[in-house]
Chains A and B, each alone.
Chain A
Amino acid sequence: MDRRRSLPDVLAGGILILIGGAFVAGALGYDRGTPLRMGPGYFPLAAGAIVAALGLAIAVKGLVAGEQITFGTIPWRAVAVLSFAVVFFGFFVRRLGFVPTSLVTALLATLASRHVRPLTAVAVAAGLTAAATLIFVVGLQLRIPWF
């Protein structure tokens, strides 16, 4: 296998360093305690340091002898639309009610595909909303207002 500089490795390492570092910084604000009575900060501090250290190791290894991974294309449209659809549901389900929120979420989700025709999207969204309402609200008596 061809092993040399690998961008994905560096990226993965960077993300881990970032998350691990953030948790370490946060954990410093909590009581660390003693080994006998570990405070709330002890374990996250250690775990965060390990994550950051492993992230560093992955990044360094990626610069010298990384795994050859083809990163491939990123479906930007799908990434943006799907994240928005999920957040939309979380934010609006209490405010707009079950049926309208589901309809918009499903419609947004169908638009993540590049090959979808508008009419199909509307039909799919309507069908899914009807199914979801039947299953979750009618069938399972979920305590969410319809509208």
Chain B
Amino acid sequence: MDLFDNLMLGFSTAFLIQNVLYCFLGVLLGTAVGVLPGIGPTATVAMLLPITFNFEPVTALIMLAGIYYGAQYGGSTTAILINLPGESSAAVTALDGHEMARQGRAGPALAAAAVGSFFAGTVATVVLAVAAPPLADVALRFGPAEYFSLVLFGLIVSITLARGSALKALAMIALGVLLGTVGQDIYTGTPRFTLGQRELFGGIDFVSVAVGMFGIAEILRNLENERTRVALVGAVGSLWPTAEDRRRIVGPILRGTGLGAALGVLPGGGHVLASFTSYAVEKRISKRPQEFGHGAIEGVAGPESANNAAAQTSFIPLLTLGLPAHPVMALMVGAFIVHGITPGPNVINDEPALFWGLIASMWIGNVLLVLLNLPLIGIWVRMLRIPYQVLFPMIVLFAVIGTYSLNFNAYDVYAIAFFGLLGYVLIKCGCEPAPLLLGFVLGPLLEENLRRALIISRGDASVLVTRPISAVLLALAVAALAVAVLPSIRRRREVVFAEDE
């Protein structure tokens, strides 16, 4: 069977000693930044991107992917032990997980999260392996008109998933698209908005935007009210869940996995939505809804499985369409391009070892994560004692060095300061930075494909609606926009997200 052969190829690549090593390094770093509040996977991947330039492409991607899903794993540890979600998707885990920890059942909560995540990761890896090839086949038939509509659709769907005002999310995307136009025009070579500075001809580097908005702005947020971190972390007792616990987590893990695998494909933070939805579902169908919020193990197992499944399947749009669904994926597009590979439907045929190796490495990564998290939980607990006064200067220093080493361009470093300040002000005004980064990365694709489509059609804009796939995608985009703006649906969205506050 094809799938079997492909997976064999994948595992033979992923089991190469350096790949296993960097996969381990990736999930280790991912867990660390997931555990530590105040630094997320986006800033970490942005900082480490330059380091991976010297690696083999597959090794680099395996490590960067490991950071991403490792962080989803690590976030739950902090959420459970100190009620401080290290990652946004772990916010729901804190509700019941921390309550369990306060009742002295931190061990079973951590175990439920780990087992759920592992199961979900395994299933989602298989989903990825099965779903990606046919999708890539479809995508190969896409022309510029289809790509334009697809990118537009992706951008608009990411609004419906963003938290807070849909209007602001839309504005952030538009702003990102606009900032993406800085630099030389692809068709005519005209320098645009470069202020006469030669260093800006190549455009603004997306690493600067990511480091500024997710690194510096986040640090400024944390420095608003400094307080010493509560080190309430007690000893974690027995990890082993009771027979009753084991029976109660089976259903939530299965449902969470399904939900997460489906929602993870959506652009713009499907993993956050997945964990919230899973929590809501478990609460609704539980025979004991009153236990939720007071240490129900279902409220840990379900959302944790959901967000880990979503973390894996969010690679589907990247690997088949070349479209990033999450800021980290946007950075991985950069990693592909640096190694001379255009992410998209061709990767699966042109670079089968890379494609299947990356997928297989995710399963290996999930095994490593279980080993890292359960027996070694004490190390992570101790890491929470690192004072923030040491942590944030480290982030700043490594961020500037990493960004500078991309192109040895001082303007990339100045851009960090600019986007840090801009991001900080915008975040304070209730605007999310993630849509901006997606718009920034996808904006040039939008422009390029629009212009190419119009050139091919001899200036006839109707090509966007007369080609069937493109028309369907545009119709879906309009529908998604309506969903995001319609008041009744918006209220329900607020309800789903309100549980986090």
Contacts and interface: CB of A to CB of B under 8 A. Distances in A.
Contacts of A48: 178
A67 B165 contact: yes
Is chain B's binding surface mostly helix, strand, loop or mixed?
helix
Interface string A100-143: 00100110011011111000100011001101100010001011
Is chain A's binding surface mostly helix, strand, loop or mixed?
helix
A130 to B, nearest CB: 11
Contact of B397 (A20, A30, A34, A106): A106
Nearest to B388: A113
B400 A89 contact: yes
A78 B181 contact: no
Contact of B400 (A71, A105, A110, A116): A105
Given A51-B171, A73-B224, A90 B393 contact: no
B482 interface: no
A72 B428 contact: yes
A63 to B, nearest CB: 14
B174 A50 contact: yes
Interface residues of A, number: 73
Interface in B442-492: 443, 447, 450-451, 454-455, 458-459, 461
Interface residue tally of chain B, by bracket? 35 or more
Nearest to B498: A1
A62 to B, nearest CB: 9
A50 B167 CA distance: 12
B193 A47 contact: no
Nearest to B177: A47
Contact of A82 (B170, B388, B420, B426): B420
B63 to A, nearest CB: 14
B378 interface: no
B168 A12 contact: yes
Which of B413, B421, B426 neighbours the largest number of chain A CB atoms within 10 Å of its CB? B413
Contact of A30 (B190, B398, B450): B190
B258 to A, nearest CB: 33
B167 A23 contact: no
Contact of A54 (B167, B216, B416): B167
A93 B404 contact: yes
A93 B455 CA distance: 45
Which of B168, B411, B443 neighbours the largest number of chain A CB atoms within 10 Å of its CB? B168
A43 B451 contact: yes
Interface of B: 51, 54, 164-165, 167-168, 170-171, 174-175, 177-178, 181, 185, 187-188, 190, 192-193, 216, 219-220, 223-226, 388-390, 392-394, 396-398, 400-401, 404-405, 408, 410-414, 416-417, 420-422, 424-426, 428-431, 443, 447, 450-451, 454-455, 458-459, 461
The 9 closest A-B pairs by CB, nearest first: A36-B459, A90-B413, A12-B429, A40-B185, A109-B393, A54-B171, A8-B429, A40-B190, A90-B410
